[in-house]
Structure 1
Amino acid sequence: MSEPDRLKSNIDELVPDIVAMRRDLHEHPELAFEEVRTSGIVAQRLRTLGLEVQTGIAKTGVVGLLKGGASKPGAKTIAIRADMDALPIHELNEIDYRSTVDGKMHACGHDGHTSILLAVADILTKRRDDLAGNIKFVFQPAEERVGGAEPMVKAGTMQGVDGIIGLHLISDYPLGRVGVRSGPVFASADRITLTVHGKGGHAAMPETTVDPIVIAAYIVTALQTLISRETSPFSPAVITIGQISAGTAFNIIPETAVMYGTMRSFTKEHREKLLRRIREVATGVASAMGGSCDVEIIDGCPPCVNDEAMTELVRSAAVASVGEQDVDTSEAVMSTGS
């Protein structure tokens, strides 16, 4: 039997177990930094495979180390990463493995990611003697809430790692199709809170007030010009105000208006520029209209930029597995995130 055929046979043998694992995790979703049950299952599985296992990284993170039997001093180490947390969403699907926890659901595929990586660990462990390098299996908590990856890095998870691979399930693709692309693929994600201060009063006498709602409306429009007039079409970015809160009555002009939004971009330089300009535009517009604006920016994830050499390794492997026609390397792979 050829190696590709042997690999496919190994995967086929594991499919029932992968499906059962994914459905079990789906039934028992856990939110960011609460993945106690999930991480316990992961750790036990990795120990059963005979890997060196670390737990409690960034609270609930798990790392399993597989040392290749053919490794020599200075051998390369590759990390493969999956996320474990669920979302605060109530599941309405009528399925046998529906979430058993009200208000929590694996709606982003992390149950699948975790199950896939456990299967990969199983398959590669069977090939331990043939491996001329080492593999770290990284199970990350709190992907849905910014904060899971950075503390794992600070705890030393990436020490000695020469490259890292991850995946994300996507319902836009049919089964057997793979998307992979070098360079920027996932945008940064920063949160913005803008608090506009005006002067309240009666709606019938607006001349005695400084209307923060009107100021907020102008700020929303002005922020969009940062995209349409200050951003190159070859360097895409998004600024969205998704929530506005102001006022307590239909005939009263309030003292304040609060806006919540997000900014996404694909490069570090563009991200820094847009965050600076958001602050300048919001405060400038408010000042020009007689009010003021407090700007709070909560740093989120930086852009995900895929290394060219590592991407080519993954692309080549994908082509060998599913064929050139089912490997997407177009701009459609890029995403401004969720």
Structure 2
Amino acid sequence: IVCCLFCCFFFDIPATPCVLPFPFGGRVNCAHATGDALRADMDALPITEATGLPYSSSVDGVAHACGHDAHTAILMAAGAALAAAPELPGRVRLIFQPAEEVMPGGALDAIEAGVLNGVDRIFGLHCDPRLPVGQVGVRVGAITSAADLLELRLTSPGGHTSRPHLTADLVHALGTVITNLPAVISRRVDPRSGTILVWGAVHAGEAANAVPEEGVLLGTLRTADHDVWLKMESLVNPAVESLLAPTGVGFTLNYRRGVPPVVCDAESTAYLSAGVDAALGEGGLTSTEQSSGGEDFGWYLEHAPGAFARLGVWDGKGPQRDLHQGTFVLDERALLTGTRVMVHTALSALAGSRD
């Protein structure tokens, strides 16, 4: 759909669409020369929409409950506006990226496909239901956190709960890791790094009087510090081994590297801030806190400088529905706000690169 619409928008304009070699992704280049990139994520979530709105998801169990449909619409409109300009001082590459919600993120596939080749800087934004429409939050430094996944599988000979000394008590071993690993990690990293391990799922056995033979524990490990993120796996593996050694259970730890923090450099953030000011005027630009959530935009910033913004989508009256909820809605006025911000950010960055 994106490629078809762009062929209509840019029929008489020197744009070069290129479909990435994986499902539902693409990039479009507007105008000429080297320049900067604007990125939007496109994927939905395995969530049932409960908004009751006329444009609710028509696919059962799938919904855009994180605003990615808005991001795509905004970038489409920004591309159309940039392409209609009589002349641009450089190229603006539009990246429509799938699989942001699937760790380690579709950004890695996009980068491998070459979307950053010739790109000087990259910019993006994300809906924020905590900010009212008409405001955009920016931040120098980390604006999101790194997020990794832990999957721990334990094995035991099993047995009767009346004779735990004759087997390996798997449930007790799970409890040992659940309670102690977060504490161990918190003592091995700088407490100012915002590092936190939280378990999301645990399962073992069915009967009250049987020691189970298998168990699984799932969780996320997040940190606000890029340097801490780089060494987390090397801290977790020996910690798990030492905690489980006295229990006698077998284990397999699958540590899945997720996404790095999105770290906005000062110069790119200045271009983004100038774009917000030009687009929205006084009162549009605001600061934002670092989120503990992950965002695969961070992978782009491992290769090129850039900045990321929080787009206010709250109507200022109703409840502030959180992201990843089936009831999440946004004020559609934010679509125009986001479009203007993306256009003026691109122009600000292109002008700055010529100075």
TM-score range, shorter chain: 0.7 to 0.9
Q: 1:39-73 CA deviation, whole Å, 9 max, x = no partner?
A: 444544554473211124433211111125xxxxx
Q: Which residue of 2 aligns with 1:136?
A: 93
Aligned equivalents of 1:317, 1:40: Cα separation in 2? 26
Q: Which residue of 2 aligns with 1:53?
A: 17
Please tell me the residue identity of whatever aligns with 1:143. E
Which residues of structure 2 form unaligned runs of 5+? 296-355
Length-normalised TM-score, structure 2: 0.77
8 Å CA contact 1:43, 1:62 repeated in 2 = no
Q: Which residue of 2 aligns with 1:336?
A: 293
Which residues of structure 1 form unaligned runs of 5+? 1-37, 69-74
Aligned equivalents of 2:292, 2:169: Cα separation in 1? 37
Please tell me the residue identity of whatever aligns with 2:29. L
Higher relative contact order, chain-length normalized (CA < 8 Å, sep 6+) = 2
1:80 to 32, 38, 59: 38
Aligned equivalents of 1:179, 1:119: Cα separation in 2? 21
The structure-2 alpha-carbon separation of the partners of 1:243 and 1:45, relative to structure 1 and needing over 3 Å to count, comes to farther
Q: Which residue of 1 aligns with 2:171?
A: 213
2:43 matches 1:95: no
The structure richer in helix per residue is 1
Aligned equivalents of 2:12, 2:52: Cα separation in 1? 35
Q: Which residue of 1 aligns with 2:230?
A: 272
The structure-2 alpha-carbon separation of the partners of 1:313 and 1:49, relative to structure 1 and needing over 3 Å to count, comes to farther
Tell me how far 1:276 sits from its aligned partner: 1.6
Cα RMSD between the aligned structures? Answer: 2.0
Q: 1:14-48 CA deviation, whole Å, 9 max, x = no partner?
A: xxxxxxxxxxxxxxxxxxxxxxxx44445445544
Aligned equivalents of 1:301, 1:53: Cα separation in 2? 27
Tell me how far 1:187 sits from its aligned partner: 1.5
Tell me how far 1:267 sits from its aligned partner: 3.5
Aligned equivalents of 1:179, 1:321: Cα separation in 2? 13
8 Å CA contact 2:10, 2:83 repeated in 1 = no
Aligned equivalents of 2:8, 2:45: Cα separation in 1? 24
Runs (4+) of structure 1 exceeding 6 A deviation are: none
Q: Which residue of 2 aligns with 1:255?
A: 213
Please tell me the residue identity of whatever aligns with 2:237. R
Q: How do residues 1-338 of structure 1 correspond to structure 2 at under 5 angstroms?
A: 38-48=1-11, 50=13, 51-68=15-32, 76-129=34-87, 131-146=88-103, 147-323=105-281, 325-330=283-288, 332-337=289-294
Tell me how far 1:228 sits from its aligned partner: 3.4
8 Å CA contact 1:222, 1:281 repeated in 2 = no
Aligned equivalents of 2:280, 2:220: Cα separation in 1? 37
For residue 207 of structure 1, give the secondary structure of its aligned residue in structure 2.
helix
Aligned equivalents of 2:165, 2:154: Cα separation in 1? 18
For residue 264 of structure 1, give the secondary structure of its aligned residue in structure 2.
strand
The structure-2 alpha-carbon separation of the partners of 1:253 and 1:319, relative to structure 1 and needing over 3 Å to count, comes to same
8 Å CA contact 1:185, 1:306 repeated in 2 = yes
Please tell me the residue identity of whatever aligns with 1:255. E
Please tell me the residue identity of whatever aligns with 1:89. I
Greater mean alpha carbon deviation, residues 188-197 or residues 79-88:
188-197
The structure-2 alpha-carbon separation of the partners of 1:292 and 1:238, relative to structure 1 and needing over 3 Å to count, comes to same
Aligned equivalents of 1:244, 1:41: Cα separation in 2? 45
Please tell me the residue identity of whatever aligns with 1:52. T
For residue 130 of structure 2, give the secondary structure of its aligned residue in structure 1.
coil
Tell me how far 1:149 sits from its aligned partner: 1.1
The structure-2 alpha-carbon separation of the partners of 1:49 and 1:249, relative to structure 1 and needing over 3 Å to count, comes to farther
Greater mean alpha carbon deviation, residues 77-86 or residues 89-98:
89-98
Q: Percent identity?
A: 33
Q: 1:306-338 CA deviation, whole Å, 9 max, x = no partner?
A: 1221111111222343356442324x1433338
The structure-2 alpha-carbon separation of the partners of 1:45 and 1:192, relative to structure 1 and needing over 3 Å to count, comes to farther
Aligned length: 293
The structure-2 alpha-carbon separation of the partners of 1:46 and 1:221, relative to structure 1 and needing over 3 Å to count, comes to farther
8 Å CA contact 1:196, 1:286 repeated in 2 = no
The structure-2 alpha-carbon separation of the partners of 1:49 and 1:158, relative to structure 1 and needing over 3 Å to count, comes to farther
Aligned equivalents of 2:63, 2:92: Cα separation in 1? 30
8 Å CA contact 1:267, 1:303 repeated in 2 = yes
For residue 29 of structure 2, give the secondary structure of its aligned residue in structure 1.
strand
The structure-2 alpha-carbon separation of the partners of 1:121 and 1:276, relative to structure 1 and needing over 3 Å to count, comes to same
Please tell me the residue identity of whatever aligns with 1:334. S
For residue 206 of structure 2, give the secondary structure of its aligned residue in structure 1.
coil
